[in-house]
Structure 1
Amino acid sequence: MIGVLLADDQALVRAGFRLILDAEPDIEVVGEAGDGEQAVAVAATARPDVVLMDIRMPVMDGIAASRELLREVPECRVIMLTTFDLDDYVVDAFRAGASGFLLKTAPPHQLLAAVRTIHEGDALLAPASTRRLLEQVAHPTTPPPAVASLTNREHDVLLLLARGLSNAEIAEQMVVEPSTVKSHVASVLSKLHLRDRVHAVVFAYEHGLVRPGSPEPR
């Protein structure tokens, strides 16, 4: 069962999401919050697997709340709820530890898919969305020493992750089994101390391993 916490200052939004989520046999809403501070407090008790977090909330915004919440409940995953596809705050949310974002206007099947995808540890962002977001903030810095610990295969996997490819797509491109790619991804995340695939994408752009706006890694 996937436990979900709903954090949004609009009660109608929370009620709508609850109706959709609680109707699923593998998903349960374990708590609600009307502001960021409340979200942190509820998460500490409810220990959700996934948090649907509005970016703009009173008392404490979603970015600050995500940062605090993930310190308290590091095993959970945060999906930021936004009104605009290219919300300026989305990349800041990734830096705070969020694992993806979802438009509030998304249809029910996308909401359910997002919750399940994030819970499984997979990427939620489409490659084009990822690149557009990172173009706004990418000011490449020197890669940290940990990058040198990656094998050639792991380095290739990181670059393909940065393009937003799934494990199956990476496996096809590298001509290996998906299980091999999964092992490489796990090793990359461990060596670079990254939470998940989304943060691997952000890492690659921010450290100049890929060129913003380019479909190909350099």
Structure 2
Amino acid sequence: MRILLCDDHRLFIDALTASLQSRGEEVVASVVEPQDAARLAVELDVDICLMDAHFPGGDSFAAVRQILDAAGDTRVVILSADNDRDMISTALACGATGFVLKRASIEVILEVMQRVHAGELVVRAGGGPAHGSRQAGPGDPDALIEPLTAREQEVLAKLVLGQNTEVIALAMGIRTSTARTHIQNVMSKLGVHTKVGAVAFAVGNGLVPLCPPDLQDAIRAATRPQLEARPPSPQRTAVAASRVRTDRLGRRVPAQLRDRAAS
């Protein structure tokens, strides 16, 4: 993998660079500003950008969007000192496909990057190795404010698969309003405020299995911010209006007749 590191703590990033290089990984650059990471991700043809979530003078999530918009196949893993659920949700919503804590071992950090590079969506909100981490279950008091019902577990699993409220209602044979109520109950019990947050929490705490690779793109598309439709500009509207032709009675002339007359 061609790795780009971005963190405002130079000693940490230098130590991380040395650890990754000692394991045979190629760290092509390390920077302390997210704007520099957004630029170098394109210039250096980076596979993975490992970026800190917090910068005193920069917006890491804005840089994530810039990287994904401009750098083609580059994937972004967010590195954070804390596992705040809303922050994880924001990272996924911006298009990051990996999350790992700073206190995790170098083996866990490297594993997350490798799995993200392979096309997986990976949220590692605990610090232990992936193969030995304790997986929280639906009744685990450390993971949930209140246990999920069987119906709510089913809804959560479908959210992880990228299904929207209408699809969930149809699949479960219930009304859309009922599905919406189940989703609200799930978010309340997980202590999150968005469906993206519920997905991040579920994946990070092992409440449901990770979705198969062929559904990863659907989840990423569902969690990326949607651009608002822009109204047509006045200039474009004026040009379109100028192309409308009428006859002497004020009736619109069909396009095919106009073309025939012009020829």
- TM bucket, shorter chain: 0.5 to 0.7
Paired residues, number: 163
Deviation of residue 112 (structure 1)?
A: 1.5
Contact 1:125-1:164 at 8 Å conserved across structures:
no
Separation in structure 2 between the aligned mates of residue 36 and residue 54 of structure 1, nearest angstrom = 9
Aligned to 2:12: 13
Instruction: Tell me: higher relative CO, structure 1 or 2? Use CA pairs within 8 A at least 6 residues apart.
Output: 1
- Structure 1 moving runs of 4+ over 6 Å: none
Q: Unaligned stretches of 5+ in structure 1? A: 153-158, 168-181, 204-218
Aligned to 2:3: 4
SS at match of 2:83: coil
SS at match of 1:90: helix
Contact 2:41-2:74 at 8 Å conserved across structures:
no
Deviation of residue 72 (structure 1)?
A: 0.8
Q: Structure 2 length as normaliser, TM-score?
A: 0.52
Deviation of residue 54 (structure 1)?
A: 0.5
Match of 1:165 among 192, 209, 218: 209
Contact 1:50-1:79 at 8 Å conserved across structures:
yes
Q: Structure 1 length as normaliser, TM-score?
A: 0.62
Asked if 1:143 corresponds to 2:164, the answer is: yes
Contact 1:7-1:34 at 8 Å conserved across structures:
yes
Contact 1:50-1:77 at 8 Å conserved across structures:
yes
1:128-187 CA-partner distances (Å, limit 9, x unpaired): 59xx69xxxx9x9x9388x59xx99xxxxxx9x9754147xxxxxxxxxxxxxx5xx42x
Alpha-carbon distance change, 75 to 164 in structure 1, aligned in 2, over 3 angstroms? farther
Aligned to 1:173: none
Separation in structure 2 between the aligned mates of residue 93 and residue 128 of structure 1, nearest angstrom = 22
Contact 1:63-1:96 at 8 Å conserved across structures:
yes
Aligned to 1:174: none
Contact 1:50-1:115 at 8 Å conserved across structures:
yes
Deviation of residue 125 (structure 1)?
A: 2.5
Q: Unaligned stretches of 5+ in structure 2? A: 125-134, 138-142, 145-155, 173-198, 225-263
Contact 1:35-1:61 at 8 Å conserved across structures:
no
Contact 2:34-2:63 at 8 Å conserved across structures:
yes
Separation in structure 1 between the aligned mates of residue 94 and residue 28 of structure 2, nearest angstrom = 23
Q: Which amino acid aligns with 2:110?
A: L
Deviation of residue 85 (structure 1)?
A: 2.1
